[in-house]
Amino acid sequence: MTADAERYEERSDGEEDVPLGGYAVLAGTFTAAAAVLAGVARRQGVRLPDQVPPWDVVLLGAATYKASRLLTRDKITSFVRAPFTRRKGHALGAEVMDEPRGDGVRRAVGDLVSCPFCSSVWVAGGLVAAYAWTPRATRLVCAGLGAVTLADWLQYAWTWTQRTTEE
């Protein structure tokens, strides 16, 4: 396989090239981090919970949603994305739209940090690992992120209500 073929494979739908090698590096990094965390947890005697209550799943879900939006769409976190993305435009509320740039691993990271769906897997992985070690502290962090999620929805509801009454 040539160097170009390792870096990119043309998509069958005719769209831009996909940095498969970069994606493989990211997938390997995620898998290695999960394995290291599992090994460290085992060595430290961390006992996994026998069950995860549904409320904790909801809390983890809301926190994952908000943290991935903060990472991928918030103006304030642009500095994290800047080496891997360029500003494409503005979205609803205070969110911005960035698009990946570069090629290889840089482009793959750009895809990851500009896509809330993609980054949510990484965020959820981190939150689940934290939940295994320190469930109480993780619940508190998740509750805070969940509160921000609720506040966002209330802001959108308020704006919608104002627009509806003005018409």
Per-residue pLDDT at 2: 39
Per-residue pLDDT at 7: 42
Q: Residue 127's closest CA among 51, 44, 66?
A: 66
Per-residue pLDDT at 167: 77
**Which residues are CB-neighbours of 20 under 8 A, at least 6 positions away?**
6, 7, 8, 9
**pLDDT tens digits, one per residue of 37-81:** 999 999 999 988 899 999 999 999 999 999 999 999 999 999 999
Domains of the chain: which residue ranges? 3-166
- Report whether 71 contacts 123 (CB < 8 A): yes
Which positions of the chain have pLDDT values less than 50?
Answer: 1-13
Per-residue pLDDT at 16: 66
75's tokens: 């103006």
What letter would DSSP give residue 46? P
Helix H or strand E segment including 73: helix 54-73
Q: For the chain, count helices (H), then strands (E).
A: 7, 2
Using CA atoms, how far apart are residues 143 and 134, in angstroms rounded to an integer?
Answer: 14
